[in-house]
Amino acid sequence: MTSPARRHFQRVSAAQAAGDAGETPMQGPAYELMQAALFEDYRRLKSTQSMERKAEIKREILPKYADYVDGVLEAGQGAQDDVLMRVMLWRIDAGDIAGAVTIARYALTHDLNPPDQFERSTAAIIAEEVADQGLKQLDEEDADVLALLKQLIDAEIMTRQADMHDQVRAKLFKALGYAQRAAGQLVEAQSSLERALALNDKVGVKKDLERVERQIQQEKAKQQNAGDQGSPQNGA
């Protein structure tokens, strides 16, 4: 386990390197140390076939990068940082959507590029990967629905102005709509699912949208009946 003093040093070193780099690509000892660690971890992941096991490995190794990330986000001015971007993606894969969104906000603010092997834009990657992970977590019995809802809202807001394929944005609205439905926000869920369907009629939300619409009508009927029962009757 890394000592508190070592963690502090990593954070301060990363902050100084990020501040010194300005808008040029990251460099220097702190960055190179993280690049070396990343290379070894990447090799380990490449040799693993199971996606479930890969996610477990990522949860295991990600803490070693936390102080570096904190330092960069604290003092960074937009330098291209491949370590930071890789950690963002690994956090999504590991189920840490909140941690990924924190990096994503910085990455989009400064127009950082994803790792070379990705053909999609940073915004498209964030939208699709956060949506996929959100949908996966919503299916879990112990899902933190309100936390997921906030993270999906954040992802939608920060990628709203970005250009991407309609199918990708549709998936994000699908995940958002499902989270809103799970949180009992039926009107908002209806709006999000309608938006997803408008963007991609094959996104797979038609039946769920119909169910949400029926639930809304049922709730309106209940409220109407309750109002009628509570009203004073004529001649009483």
- 3 state SS of 94: coil
> How many domains does the chain fold into?
1
Strands (E), 75-136: none
Closest to 88 in 3D by CA, of 49, 52, 125, 46: 125
Does some domain include residue 170?
no
Does some domain include residue 224?
no
The per-residue b/e assignment along 81-112, b for 16 or more CB within 10 angstroms, e otherwise, is bbbbbbbbbbbbbbbbbebbbbbbbbbbeeeb
Does some domain include residue 201?
no
Distance of alpha carbon 152 from alpha carbon 88, whole angstroms: 15
pLDDT for 236 equals 43
Does some domain include residue 150?
no
Does some domain include residue 134?
no
Using CA atoms, how far residue 110 sits from 22, 30, 104, in Å, is 11, 21, 10
> For the segment 202-233, what is each residue's pLDDT rounded down to a tens digit?
999 999 999 999 999 998 888 887 766 665 65
pLDDT for 21 equals 63
Does some domain include residue 207?
no
Distance of alpha carbon 46 from alpha carbon 172, whole angstroms: 28
Low pLDDT (below 50) residues in the chain: 235-236
Distance of alpha carbon 161 from alpha carbon 68, whole angstroms: 29
Domain ranges, residue 51: 9-119
pLDDT for 19 equals 66
Distance of alpha carbon 50 from alpha carbon 65, whole angstroms: 23
- Residue 158, number of CB atoms within 10 A of its CB: 19
